[in-house]
């Protein structure tokens, strides 16, 4: 039965965590990448008996993370996946009546709250990776705030993140405690470029080949921005490797990883590498959080991400390649150093990391149109929720909202009754 290679940083804080959860309805847990938040928190609370009166739910922003972390926890507990430990993602529910630790995407938890607004099947809800600040996570934060009023006596909520602004979330939940879990398991050495490359695909390619030729064994995780980049990178990398002198390097296997791949292809990256073979995993930001790919020693970070954003002047959304935030850069580096020491090659100067990158990713709600967010909330059809007064961690500005209401009323998106607006 695999277990963590040595006590993870979070294990040393288990008593402190349990005491905080015992005494409070909501607890924020901030821990560095690889400290054990995703795989251990649920197990710590399970061991203390929290799963006796309801399951422990752990949300993940992405499907591949929900599946892989559930698989890992099932392995650590020595149980078949889908039994005591399971997962639920869109189109796939691998849980049973016996499931007491359930990993699920935040979208699935939102859907569950439609049929069961009090989410009664759960005794504990852990919102993991909250620093990603997706619209779904922000809506769940608001829903949790409401839920704890109704279920204060029998629900525990934990909000975990690598770098979330703990104080802000604590204030949102009336000053709940914030636990900081310092420490990582293995060091990750970081290397910076002297300048930004004009072509990050070519630069990543060169770095990958350099690693293959010069470095000892260890898999390489390469962050690209989207499917197009990944396809280009995969074919160029295969070609370059084929052209290397026969017998000069170990064998290589190049694997893509992105959200549109069918699940059976996504899980290929978790299978062990064949002997004397280096794997290159070329991924989008789906590999950025929660994933542990055993064997990854090297990370190549191009410093960009593809992000959907709203342009108020054109009234349109666009999918743009933008600089990542420092949080994202640290998450990417944190994919190495999980099962052994690692190296991260950042294809940007340290000054770019320190001065140009934003500290944290701009929350999705602030990159979305107001109408888009309200429509999304409306489409969820959450019972008894006044969408216009929904409690967001970063609420849309009131004047902006008021300015929109009149125009929304004209197209019947909202109703108006004696000057006050509601959702139709
Ligand atoms: N599939 C796996 N194979 C091998 N080791 C694993 C696996 N999953 C987790 N681990 C070990 O457990 C550690 C903690 O992983 P976990 O995902 O719980 O950390 P985390 O704090 O949630 O990290 P992050 O915020 O970066 O996702 C890893 O660093 C690694 O040592």
pLDDT mean by block of 10 residues, the chain; 424 residues: 67 95 95 91 96 95 92 96 96 94 95 88 94 86 89 89 77 92 88 95 97 95 95 96 83 92 84 89 90 93 90 80 94 92 97 94 79 70 66 74 70 69 60
* Gap from CA of 109 to ligand 1 centroid (Å): 23
Structure tokens at 169: 């979330």
Q: What is the pLDDT of residue 16?
A: 96
Nearest to 254 by CA among 291, 204, 183, 292: 204
The most distant pair of C-alpha atoms in the chain lies apart, rounded to whole Å, by 80
Please give the ipTM for the structure prediction.
0.97
Q: What is the pTM of this model?
A: 0.89
Write down the pLDDT at residue 2: 52
Give me the pLDDT at residue 420, please. 64
Q: What is the pLDDT of residue 1?
A: 46
Question: What are the two backbone dihedrals, phi and then psi, of residue 284, each rounded to the nearest 5 degrees?
Answer: -90, -170
By most ligand atoms within 8 Å of CB, the mutation choice from 36, 127, 179 for ligand 1 is 36
How far is the C-alpha of 239 from the C-alpha of 233, rounded, in Å? 10
- For residue 225, the 8-state DSSP code is S
**Which residue's CA is minimally distant from atom 4 of ligand 1?**
294
Residue 73 in tokens:
């926890």
pLDDT of residue 401: 67
CA-based nearest residue to 332, from 137, 161, 190, 229: 190
42 lines ligand 1 (CB under 6 A): no
pLDDT at 387: 60
Cα(185) to centroid(ligand 1), Å: 9
* Res 164: pLDDT: 59
Atom of ligand 1 nearest to the CA of 185: 29
What pLDDT, on a 0 to 100 scale, did the predictor assign at position 273?
82
pLDDT at 421: 64
Burial class (CB in 10 A: 0-12, 13-18, 19+), 141: buried
The verdict on the CB of residue 290 being under 6 Å from ligand 1 is yes
CA distance 98 to 389: 38
CA distance 36 to 183: 10
Does the Cβ of 72 fall within 6 Å of ligand 1? yes
The CA 290 to ligand 1 mean position distance, Å, reads 7
Domains of the chain, start order = 9-181 (3.40.50.300), 188-364 (3.40.50.300), 370-423 (no CATH)
234: Cα separation from own chain's centroid? 24
* Closest alpha carbon to 256 in 232, 272, 292, 277: 232
- Would you say the CB of residue 30 lies under 6 angstroms from ligand 1? no
Q: Is 43 in the pocket of ligand 1 (CB under 6 A)?
A: no
pLDDT of residue 398: 66
Q: What is the pLDDT of residue 424?
A: 53
3-state SS assignment for residue 326: helix
Ligand 1 neighbour 292 (Cβ under 6 A):
yes
pLDDT at 60: 94
């Amino acid at each position: 039965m695999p277990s963590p290679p040595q006590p993870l940083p979070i294990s040393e804080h288990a008593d402190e965590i349990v005491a905080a959860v015992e005494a409070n309805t909501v607890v924020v847990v901030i821990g560095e990448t690889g400290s054990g938040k995703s795989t251990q928190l649920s197990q710590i609370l399970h061991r203390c008996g929290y799963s006796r009166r309801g399951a422990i739910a752990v949300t993940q922003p992405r499907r591949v993370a929900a599946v892989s972390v559930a698989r890992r926890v099932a392995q650590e507990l020595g149980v078949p996946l889908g039994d005591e430990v399971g997962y639920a993602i869109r189109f796939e529910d691998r849980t049973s009546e016996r499931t007491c630790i359930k990993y699920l995407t935040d979208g699935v938890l939102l859907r569950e709250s439609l049929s069961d607004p009090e989410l009664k099947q759960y005794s504990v809800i852990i919102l993991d990776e909250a620093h990603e600040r997706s619209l779904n996570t922000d809506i769940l934060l608001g829903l949790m705030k409401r839920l704890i009023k109704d279920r204060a006596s029998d629900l525990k909520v934990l909000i975990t993140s690598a770098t979330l602004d703990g104080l802000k979330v604590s204030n949102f939940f009336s000053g709940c405690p914030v636990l900081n879990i310092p420490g990582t398991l293995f060091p990750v050495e970081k290397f910076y470029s002297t300048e930004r490359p004009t072509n990050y695909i070519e630069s990543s390619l060169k770095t990958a080949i350099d690693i293959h030729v010069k470095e000892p064994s260890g898999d390489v995780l390469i962050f690209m921005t989207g499917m197009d980049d990944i396809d280009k990178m995969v074919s160029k990398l295969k070609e370059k490797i084929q052209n290397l002198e026969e017998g000069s390097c170990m064998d290589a296997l190049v694997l893509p990883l992105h959200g549109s791949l069918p699940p059976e292809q996504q899980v290929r990256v978790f299978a062990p590498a064949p002997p004397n073979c280096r794997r290159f995993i070329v991924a989008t930001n789906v590999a950025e959080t929660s994933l542990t790919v055993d064997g990854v020693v090297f990370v190549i970070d191009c410093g960009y991400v593809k992000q959907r954003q709203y342009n108020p002047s054109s009234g349109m959304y666009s999918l743009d390649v933008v600089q990542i935030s420092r949080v994202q850069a640290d998450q990417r580096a944190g994919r190495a150093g999980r099962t052994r020491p690692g190296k991260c090659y950042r294809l940007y100067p340290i000054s770019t990391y320190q001065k140009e990158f934003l500290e944290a990713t701009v929350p999705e709600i602030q990159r979305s149109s107001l109408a888009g967010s309200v429509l999304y909330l409306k489409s969820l059809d959450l019972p008894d929720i006044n969408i216009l007064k929904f409690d967001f961690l970063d609420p849309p500005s009131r004047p902006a909202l008021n300015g929109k209401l009149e125009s929304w009323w004209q197209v019947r998106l909202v109703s108006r009754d004696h000057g006050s607006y509601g959702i139709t």
